[in-house]
Amino acid sequence: MTDVDIKPLSEERRLDWLRLIRSENVGPVVFRQLLERYGNPAAALEALPDLARRAGAKRRIRICPPEEAEAEAKAARKAGACLVALCEPGYPALLRSLEDAPPVLTLLGEAETFAPPCIGIVGARNASANGRRLAERIAADLVTAGFAVASGMARGIDTAAHRGALPGATIAVLAGGCDIIYPPENEALHAEIRAKGAVLSEMPLGTVPQARHFPRRNRLISGLSLGVVVVEAAKRSGSLITARFAGEQGREVFAVPGSPLDPRAGGCNQLIREGAVLIESAADVIEALAPLHPHGQAVPPAPRSLAQPGAAAIPPAPEPGNAERAIIEELLGADPIAVDEVVRLSTLPIAVVHGVLLELELAGKVERHPGNRFARLYKAPADPL
């Protein structure tokens, strides 16, 4: 495994990156595995149909055609957006270090927004006036201290955080396309962020966000950030999920406490009980982060290894046979199971297990779950009527 060599891509090579991530059953983790196995996206695209067929895909998986990728790139140019691949210098450094970092981002706005160390601020949509005031103040104080502030441009705390940060650097991470504004009353805010900060998404322009996109979006907010501040959050809320992601990603989790009598404080108080840092101000955040950026500079974690586009491929793992594939398929069920467990139970070499799971995922026969766990995808039973 080698560290990623950061360099700009030609337009043509960038389209290979785009085609691979827009192909069927290819998510960010599969993308990275394909890159490690085949060395560059073009080679992976060639190998894709065969890999999926080996795992028993009933039909050819859909590979994104060149024209489609070209059309996406053209639409982005037309909208004033740019596409940035993970290996390019414009890609946010901290985000790059995630195992499941998006291979290609669409960006609207100023590239230098990603230069300062970033803090995420998230919280309730139905935030109280006090909660909004706190989020705005914390955001304003953070940008004054030289940080950027990332949030999700939702109602409530997100909106307040962007507003507070607008004199400085602020990043809106959207679940749908960069040009799809929700809630509609944030149109002016979107324009301001675009003009002074940055709007970012891993989805193509024009994508209308769906429920399943929001957890991914939340992972990007925390992934961009040294830490995430939760301002108001009920128990069992989306902000709590973001905070848990942040913890899993090794990011600091900060929570603003509140009275037990206020249901919007329940989630934050719970986070603090679970180990989040209690904060009352931007100064508390900065103090807690001091060891991470001793001279006001973010020190991003060492980037994870990533094969180079065009670099020599790592020798591929021995190709799994049908016997091994059968053993592994047998072990998988509707409940997700950890890869380590599959290795232990199958007694197969770890490289073989990873190879089979990659093929099964491409074939749409298994689904990847958080924590490197896999579940089998079953067809719904035929309707008896």
Nearer to its own copies, 83 or 289 (CB): 289
* Closest approach of its own copies to the CB of residue 266, in Å: 8
Strands (E), 220-377: 227-230, 252-255, 277-278, 337-338, 366-369, 373-376
CA distances from 36 to 52, 172, 265 (A): 17, 31, 44
* Closest approach of its own copies to the CB of residue 133, in Å: 7
* Closest approach of its own copies to the CB of residue 299, in Å: 24
- Check if the beta carbon of residue 90 is closer than 8 Å to that of residue 199: no
| CB burial of residue 68 (10 Å; 0-12, 13-18, 19+) | middle
- Check if the beta carbon of residue 104 is closer than 8 Å to that of residue 21: yes
Query: Which spans of this chain sit near its own copies (rule: CB under 8 A)?
Result: 130, 133-134, 256-262, 265-266, 269, 272-273, 277-278, 280-281, 284
Nearer to its own copies, 173 or 272 (CB): 272
* Closest approach of its own copies to the CB of residue 254, in Å: 11
* Closest approach of its own copies to the CB of residue 257, in Å: 3
Nearer to its own copies, 55 or 289 (CB): 289
C-alpha to C-alpha distance for 122 and 99, rounded to whole angstroms = 22
* Closest approach of its own copies to the CB of residue 289, in Å: 15
Nearer to its own copies, 187 or 280 (CB): 280
Does residue 75 sit in helix, strand or coil?
A: helix
Please report, in angstroms and rounded to a whole number, the separation of the first and last CA atoms in the chain: 53
Nearer to its own copies, 144 or 297 (CB): 144
Nearer to its own copies, 276 or 348 (CB): 276
C-alpha to C-alpha distance for 93 and 250, rounded to whole angstroms = 15
**Locus of tokens 């982005």:** 76
